[in-house]
């Protein structure tokens, strides 16, 4: 059971989501406005947030940025726009996942369970080193040539998974299953996060140092020669 904050201004939709989550034995709190949601997050920290973007007092993407300024809680955004640019923008703003309206209760639960699994503390582990890159799995910290690298939760999970399998090609299907905990989906989200990782590691896809794409096969974190 998890505590989930539902941020949705439509009373009918909010009620339906609350009922669905309650049926799955989650404890649910709710808010109809962005500022009320921020107050809930700071005063009663939830395990996850489902955030509608069409809020009356604040644009949903701005609300997302404000949430990220005070909390690292997993956030699933709900949007009516199945648009690639919009989805990329939301992921860049700090969303952990997204749902396109309308969505089923099973789809909602699958996405929620996935972000909750990723947020759970890992068991005992050790730091992994690949060249000048160090990934501390216990502290969830990464450094490059001794300089801290600021990563989102998802970026760290992706980097840690690849670092633990350095110099081996990892398929996108494997990344989707093991990092995103999803058995199906497209490559878009993976490619977006790989692009962010490359930027933070100071490299480009055209001139990679660590992150190499093997066309038609997958991705490989390489020890620099």
Tokens standing for 182? 């999803």
The answer to whether the CB of 131 falls within 8 A of the CB of 224 is yes
Res 185: pLDDT: 62
Res 163: pLDDT: 93
Res 123: pLDDT: 54
| pTM exceeds 0.95, yes or no | no
218 φψ region: left (φ > 0), alpha (ψ -120 to 50), beta (else): left
How would you label 180-212 residue by residue, b for 16+ Cβ within 10 Å and e otherwise?
Answer: bbeeeeeeebbebbbebbbebbeeeeeebbbbe
| C-alpha distance across the termini of the chain, in Å | 47
CA 18 to CA 2: how far, in whole Å?
13
The answer to whether the CB of 112 falls within 8 A of the CB of 50 is yes
- DSSP label of 170: B
Res 162: pLDDT: 94
pLDDT in tens, the chain (225 residues): 789 999 998 899 999 999 999 998 899 999 999 899 999 998 888 999 999 988 888 887 788 888 887 788 899 998 877 777 878 888 877 888 888 888 898 999 988 988 888 777 555 556 899 999 999 987 888 999 999 999 888 889 899 999 999 989 998 888 888 888 776 666 777 888 899 999 999 998 888 999 998 887 889 999 887
Res 64: pLDDT: 86
């Amino acid at each position: 059971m998890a505590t989930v904050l539902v941020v949705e201004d439509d009373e009918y939709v909010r009620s339906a989501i609350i009922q669905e989550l309650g049926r799955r034995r989650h404890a649910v709190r709710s808010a109809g406005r962005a500022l009320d949601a921020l107050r809930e997050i700071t005063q009663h920290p939830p395990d996850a947030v489902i955030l509608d973007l069409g809020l009356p007092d604040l644009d949903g993407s701005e609300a997302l940025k404000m949430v990220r300024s005070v909390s690292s809680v997993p956030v699933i955004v709900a949007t009516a726009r199945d648009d690639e640019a919009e989805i990329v923008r939301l992921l860049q703003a700090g969303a952990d996942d997204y749902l396109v309206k309308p969505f089923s209760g099973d789809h909602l639960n699958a996405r929620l369970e996935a972000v909750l699994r990723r947020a759970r503390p890992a068991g005992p582990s050790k730091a992994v080193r690949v060249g000048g890159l160090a990934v501390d799995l216990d502290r969830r910290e990464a450094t490059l040539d001794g300089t801290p690298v600021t990563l989102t939760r998802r970026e760290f999970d992706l980097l840690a998974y690849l670092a633990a399998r350095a110099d081996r090609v990892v398929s996108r299907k494997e990344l989707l299953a093991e990092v995103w905990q999803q058995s199906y989906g497209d490559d878009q989200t993976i490619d977006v996060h790989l692009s962010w990782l490359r930027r933070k590691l100071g490299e480009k896809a055209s001139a990679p140092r660590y992150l190499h794409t093997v066309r038609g096969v997958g991705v490989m974190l390489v020890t620099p020669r």
